[in-house]
Each structure stands twice: as C-alpha cells, then as structure tokens.
C-alpha cells in the first residue's frame, strides 16, 4: 500500500510508525503477523463474529503483543472511539455484504482515514462476476434446504459437474462451467462458502465501485499489485485503442480494460479525493524505495548474458550490465533489501541512471517479479545465525495450523512433520548442534546424514522465506 502510494508521488505514513485498521478481520490472521513484525506501529481490528474475535484475542495474549487490539463490533455502529488510521484494510467484505454495509464501509473509511491515509478494499468485479453469479445461483438452487455448509459445497459442485457433462464436448456453455469448476475445486470449501454461497454476493463494475467511493470523498489510487506480464494492458496496440475509445478518461479506460481482461477480482487502493495523484511514475520516487530480489542467477548460453529464475518458474535472460549486476547483488542478500541510494553508484557505472528510461526499466523488472519494491526494512535475518530464531508468530501458526506467516507477510506451507517440529525448536536458544541433537532424539530412525541434510535444507528454506528474525 505504501509502496504504491510512493510510486504515485504521495507521502504515506512510514510503515514502522503508523496506525492500521482492519475491518472484518475475523481471527486476525492478516493483522496479528503484521503487528508482530512491526512493533512500533499500532493495529486495530474488529469483526462481528464472536468466536473468531475470541480466538484472535487468545492468540494475542499468548504472543504477548501490546500493539494490537481485536474487538467484537458491528460495522454499522459508531467507531469514532477508534481514532484515525493511516492504513485501512477491508478484504472480502464489500462484494459480500448488503447495500447498507457496503455504503457504511466507504463512509467509515472516509471518516477514519488520515489526510495521507490509504484504504485497501477488495471486491469481486464484473464482467467475470457475471459467470460467478450464474454458478452461484445454480448451486444455491440445488442445495436449497441443505444446512451443513460443507455438504452444500459438495452437492453444489456435484450439480455443476452434472450440468457440464450433460452438454456436448466443445460446447461453449460446458467449457464455461468447467472453467468455474476448476476454480472451485482448487480451493478450500470454506472459501466457496464465503463467496458463492454467502447471503450476499454483489460483483460490481470497477467504474461503479469508484463512483461509489467518490460519493464519500475517496479517490482511486491504483491496485495493490502491479498487473502480471501477460496483462493486455501492457500491449501498445491495446492501450492505444482504449485511450482513444475512452476519450482520455483514465477511469473509463480502466473499465474498458477490465472487459478485455474478463476481470473478476480487484484489490483497490483509495486515498482522500484532495490528494494529488501522479499517474506516471516519476524517476525520483525510486530513491524513496527499497529493492529486493529472490531471483537465482545462472550462466546463459549467450556470451555476456545471465539467466535469472524464481521458484515459481519465472525465468528471464538479460545481457544488460546494470540489470545483471542489480539482480546478482540483490540475490546475494535476499530476503534483505537495499535502498536505491545504496545501489545508485553501482548502477550508474553499469549504465543505468535514474531518468525516464531507467525508471521504465525498473518498473519492467518489478512487473516481471524479478525485483520487489518495498517501503520499509523488514527485520529478517540476512543469514542463518549461530542460534537461529524463527519468529514467535510463525512458530505459533506452525504449531496450530501447519503453516507460518513470514516477516515478509507471505505464507510458508509446512506439510513435513519434521519441519513443523524443527520450527518449534528454533526459539533462539539452540545452536545447530543442539538442534541436531533435539531432532535426532525426536526421530531416532533417521541417519545422521539424513538429519543433517534435512536440518540444513529446512534452515535455508526458512531463512529465504523470511521466517528467521534478525
């Protein structure tokens, strides 16, 4: 949120000394890890459901956090006592709530946002929302009278299979339903309960959402994440056509682009309407940011080139001296980051200066996921220390849920029983020898070679994931 604001020429409150509000925060799975990682900031969340709030409060007490509160509260009630916030988050609420709640969400965001504040609101969007609405109505009709939520999901999906298989192969209607089935079956049933089977499900056009925000003195900033490389918005001919078709109206152009994308979901950032937003990223803003990269470098077939790969199989080859130098330097220090000022002289020697072309190159690297742009220094361990310490928040999550949220605010799934046991031992009191001894006691059937290899592999994975504290 802060990074996107900086790119657009704004001055958001520094991450390490801000106030954050999350509306409909459930049990604090998003908010609590942030509070742990950023002890100098204050975090507040509220939710209508009593049990999730009680679970969140118990988790906060266990971690001993003093900078986060999670309350049971109705969004329709007064919230003046909470004060104002630099960042407001509402994920999974706007498109899944009745009209009065949607309006109150935007009203509350306007009331509680500081002058330089940023609000994040996610919602289902049209035109893809039309397809999800069709599938939702089919499922709801089939499971009418079924009370068990998981049974609703199972029987609803079963009915969609029946409908699809009743159609001839290559039938467009069948292909549309099968695509929706792929999405539904690839995720946890609880998400389908929240989305397709909720009491309210109101996808909106982007332009409709923005107009609603404007009624409450809020303006569209950008999306929380830059579109990925396949996005049609990067095609020159697409942009040229849409600029002409929209008559230069930026918001209309975004809406027309959503039709091209068949977009179904947005994570929109909002600011106060009186803020001056720079739509083009000025070169100078990069001096206010930090750069990181987890790309692994390898030799390329072409002389002078290097190949850079990410764990998600994203691959890029480059012979640009500044690009290769930048990615190799950042790769050495991942998950830590460097400011542009720390990198500027090296990049200038390699031919990258911070002008319009240099800024465009940096944005292309960010879009390609080769670099991350950050607005604060995350307290991650730059190397595996003598006595590695996994964050207490990550250890707590791993013990209860089988995954861990990193200090980078990403999730590391931990399906291996040995890794789950190891992370509980990593409280900063044990060195490698003590960790090895504890693991050999817990798993006596493993050889010393297997234990040592597993220990080093797990430590490396956790360090690169940002689980280990500095």
Per-residue pLDDT tens for 258-306?
999 999 999 999 999 999 999 999 999 999 999 999 999 988 888 889 9
CB 75 within 8 A of CB 49: no
Per-residue model confidence as pLDDT tens digits over 59-109 = 999 999 999 999 999 999 999 999 999 999 999 899 999 999 999 999 999
Q: CB neighbours of 25 closer than 8 A, spacing ≥ 6?
A: 31, 45, 46, 47, 56, 70, 89
Between the CA atoms of 109, 111, 114 and 118, what dihedral angle is there, to the nearest 10 degrees? 10
Number of H helices, E strands in the chain: 18, 15
pTM attached to this predicted model: 0.93
Average pLDDT, the chain: 94
Domain regions of the chain by residue span: 2-24+75-126+203-272, 128-194, 283-374, 392-465
Per-residue model confidence as pLDDT tens digits over 413-436 = 988 899 999 999 999 999 999 999
pLDDT value at residue 300: 87
pLDDT value at residue 402: 87
Q: What H or E segment, with its residue span, contains residue 306?
A: strand 306-309
CB 179 within 8 A of CB 262: no
Give, in words, the CATH class of 2-24+75-126+203-272: alpha beta
- Phi, psi angle pair for 94, to nearest 5°: -55, -50
Percent of the chain with pLDDT over 70: 100
b/e 121-156 (16+ beta carbons within 10 angstroms → b): bbbbbbebbebbbebbebbeebbeeeeeeeebbeeb
**315-318, strands of its sheet edge to edge:** 296-299, 306-309, 315-318
Per-residue model confidence as pLDDT tens digits over 242-270 = 999 999 899 999 999 999 999 999 999 99
CB 379 within 8 A of CB 407: yes
Band (pLDDT 50/70/90 cuts) for residue 129 is very high
Q: What H or E segment, with its residue span, contains residue 114?
A: strand 113-124
pLDDT value at residue 312: 63
């Amino acid at each position: 949120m802060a990074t996107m604001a900086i790119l657009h020429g704004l001055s958001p409150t520094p991450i390490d000394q801000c106030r954050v509000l999350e509306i409909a925060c459930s049990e604090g799975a998003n908010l609590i890890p942030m509070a742990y990682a950023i002890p100098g900031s204050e975090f507040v969340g509220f939710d209508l459901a009593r049990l999730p709030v009680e679970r969140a409060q118990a988790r906060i007490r266990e971690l001993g956090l003093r900078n986060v509160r999670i309350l049971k509260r109705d969004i329709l009630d007064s919230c003046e006592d909470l004060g104002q916030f630099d960042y407001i988050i509402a994920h999974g609420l706007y498109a899944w709530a009745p009209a009065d709640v949607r309006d109150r969400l935007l009203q509350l965001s306007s009331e509680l946002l500081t002058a330089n504040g940023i609000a994040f609101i996610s919602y289902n969007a049209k035109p893809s929302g039309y397809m999800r609405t069709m599938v939702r109505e089919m499922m709801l009709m089939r499971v009418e009278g079924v009370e068990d939520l998981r049974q609703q999901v199972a029987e609803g999906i079963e009915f969609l299979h029946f409908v699809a298989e009743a159609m001839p192969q290559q039938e467009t209607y069948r292909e549309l339903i099968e695509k929706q089935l792929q999405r539904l079956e690839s995720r946890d049933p609880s998400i389908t309960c929240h989305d397709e089977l909720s009491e309210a499900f109101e996808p909106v056009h982007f332009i409709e959402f923005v107009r609603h925000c404007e009624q409450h003195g809020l303006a569209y900033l950008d999306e929380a994440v830059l579109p990925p490389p396949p996005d049609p918005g990067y095609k020159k001919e697409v942009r040229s056509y849409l600029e002409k078709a929209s008559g230069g109206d930026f918001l209309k152009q975004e809406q027309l682009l959503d039709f091209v994308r068949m977009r179904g979901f947005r994570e929109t950032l909002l600011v106060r309407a009186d803020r001056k937003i720079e739509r083009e990223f000025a070169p100078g803003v990069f001096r206010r940011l930090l750069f990181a990269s987890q790309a692994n470098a390898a030799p390329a077939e072409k002389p002078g080139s290097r190949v850079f790969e990410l764990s998600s199989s994203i691959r890029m080859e480059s012979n640009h001296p500044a690009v290769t130098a930048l990615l190799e330097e950042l790769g050495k220090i991942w998950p830590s980051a460097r400011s542009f000022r720390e990198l500027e002289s090296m990049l200038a020697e390699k031919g990258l200066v911070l002008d319009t072309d240099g800024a465009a190159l940096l944005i292309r690297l960010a879009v390609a996921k080769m670099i991350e742009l950050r607005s604060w220094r995350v307290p991650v361990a730059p190397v595996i220390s003598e006595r590695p310490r996994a964050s207490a928040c990550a250890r707590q999550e791993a013990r209860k849920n089988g995954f861990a949220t990193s200090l980078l605010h990403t999730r590391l799934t931990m399906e291996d029983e040995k890794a789950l046991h190891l992370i509980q031992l990593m409280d900063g009191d044990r060195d490698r020898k003590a960790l090895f001894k504890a693991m050999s006691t817990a798993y006596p059937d493993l050889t010393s070679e297997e234990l040592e290899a597993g220990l080093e592999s797990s430590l490396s994975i956790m360090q690169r994931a940002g689980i280990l504290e500095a």
